[in-house]
Amino acid sequence: EWLASWAAVVTKPSDLGYDDGDFVLPPLNIYEEMITVNRTEGGLFAVEARTLNEQRAAARYTLSDRVKRCAEIVNDTDKPFLVWCNLNAESEALKKAIPDAIEVKGSDSKEHKERAMLGFSDGTYKRLISKPSICGWGMNWQHCSNMAFVGLNNSFEQWYQAIRRCLRFGQKNPVNVYAITSNLEGAIRANLERKERDAERMIQEMVKYTRDITRRNVRQTVRETAEYNPRMKMVIPDWLRSEVV
């Protein structure tokens, strides 16, 4: 409540008691695409990756299988598609597996990044491959309603922002998100889900207190007017007078 006294959280007009009108988000469909492996690299059994080093090793070990599954999904449609990855090796492999895609890497020039992102916006390119840390902020891509994550990391912010490039007001279609992971990466998915629950709970509480405080402020609002009592007769100068009386 103290936080809501100086910061407002509003997700849609109805949070403040107004009609949402056109400010309604379409459904978000998240499809879990699980790649099953029987053992870890150098091991006899499949062991869930816990530490960051183990998670990086698992990502490298399952890279080709995850890329292959993503290419099958993307190449099966002619609709615009965003493909998110975490590793440079994933990006390179995806570009080979999805021939008509444009790739945006951190090492690319500003001119290439601009041309690629604007080209995806105007339909010049139908598929864009990049990392959430590069293209996951600021762009409005409501023309696209399909995306794939070729692996996940522990950043809920990147997950949230990348999805919101398409899940925005003005999006006319359900947004389909394909999360392509392996059974070695269960700890990452569980961590993201926990962060998502925490964020949703915080947002709902902030919305509640923002609404309550806003309503109290509106009820306490008093219209103040100053009465005008002229003491001198107004004289309009000649240069402001109309020539036609």
Whether residue 47 contacts residue 184, with contact meaning beta carbons closer than 8 Å, is answered with: yes
Residue type, 20: D
Of 67, 74, 70, 69, the C-alpha closest to 90 is: 67
Which pLDDT score, from 0 to 100, does residue 48 have?
62
For residue 220, the SS3 value is: coil
pLDDT at 115: 96
3-state secondary structure of 177: strand
CB atoms closer than 10 angstroms to residue 145: 21
pTM more than 0.85: no
Q: Using an 8 Å Cβ cutoff, are 202 and 176 in contact?
A: no
For position 145, what pLDDT does the model report? 97
Predicted local confidence at residue 189, as pLDDT: 84
Q: What CATH class is the domain 21-200?
A: alpha beta
The three-state secondary structure class of 32 is: strand
Closest listed residue to residue 161, CA positions, set 177, 188, 138, 128: 138
pLDDT in tens, the chain (245 residues): 787 788 878 888 888 888 888 888 999 999 998 888 775 555 544 556 567 777 787 888 889 999 999 999 999 999 999 999 999 999 999 999 999 999 999 999 999 999 999 999 999 999 999 999 999 999 999 999 999 999 888 899 999 999 999 999 999 999 999 999 888 887 888 888 999 999 999 988 888 888 888 777 755 666 777 787 888 888 888 777 765 54
Can you tell me the distance from the alpha carbon of 148 to that of 68, in angstroms, rounded to the nearest whole number?
Answer: 12
> What distance in Å separates the CA atoms of residue 193 and residue 30, rounded to the nearest whole number?
12
Q: From edge to edge, which strands make up the β-sheet containing 175-182?
A: 28-35, 175-182, 146-150, 81-84, 127-130, 101-103
The CA distance from 26 to 218, in Å, is: 31
Write down the pLDDT at residue 242: 65
So what's the pLDDT on residue 132?
A: 95
Q: Are strands 28-35 and 146-150 parallel, antiparallel or unpaired?
A: unpaired
Cβ partners under 8 Å of residue 138, min gap 6: none
The residue extents of the domains of the chain are 21-200
Residue 229: the pLDDT is 82
d(CA 197, CA 192): 9
**For residues 126 and 14, what is the distance between their CA atoms, to the nearest angstrom?**
35
pLDDT at 168: 94
Neighbours of 213 (CB within 10 A): 15
Distance from C-alpha of 241 to C-alpha of 9, rounded to nearest angstrom = 52
